[in-house]
């Protein structure tokens, strides 16, 4: 924690949710790489394969590290959280434009806009030592 500031409650919630998402992605990646779930069981995984499972493992590990950084108030995580939220919004907009799945992508856009807004609040910036 930067400057001894106490952790804002929403940062605690974001860290916990990020940790859980990382664990789920890690488990899913391991299950896909191990071949426990086959394309016969879940046809949507037909194009994912081992490479996709490996990518999910890496993304899961990154999410766990980000969760730890949010929990501990690492300055670099403020920047990464901000950047990854913007990237996520861009990918969601791209998905809407290319596939027309507005309903499935509007929630991630709203969540990431809330995260960006919250990360720019003075108390949160002080917690991360960015202010």
**Over the stretch 9-44, which tens digit does the pLDDT of each residue have?**
999 999 999 899 989 989 988 887 777 666 566 666
- The domain ranges of the chain are 2-128
Confidence (pLDDT) at 84 = 87
pLDDT at 6: 86
Q: Pick out the chain residues at pLDDT < 50.
A: none
Neighbours of 102 (CB within 10 A): 12
pLDDT at 38: 60
CA dist 43 → 37, 47, 48, 51 (Å): 10, 9, 10, 16
C-alpha gyration radius of the chain = 17
**Whole-structure pTM value:** 0.74
């Amino acid at each position: 924690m930067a400057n001894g500031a106490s952790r804002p409650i929403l940062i605690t919630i974001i860290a916990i949710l990020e940790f859980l998402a990382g664990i789920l992605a890690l488990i899913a990646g391991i299950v896909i790489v191990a071949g426990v779930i086959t394309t016969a069981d879940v046809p949507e995984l037909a194009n994912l394969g081992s490479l996709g499972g490996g990518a999910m493992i890496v993304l899961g590990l990154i999410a766990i590290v980000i969760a730890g950084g949010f929990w501990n108030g690492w300055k670099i995580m403020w920047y990464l959280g901000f950047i990854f939220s913007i990237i996520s919004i861009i990918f969601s907009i791209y998905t809407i434009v290319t596939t027309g799945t507005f309903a499935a992508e509007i929630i991630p856009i709203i969540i990431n806009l809330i995260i960006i807004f919250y990360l720019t609040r003075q108390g949160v910036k002080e917690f991360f030592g960015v202010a």
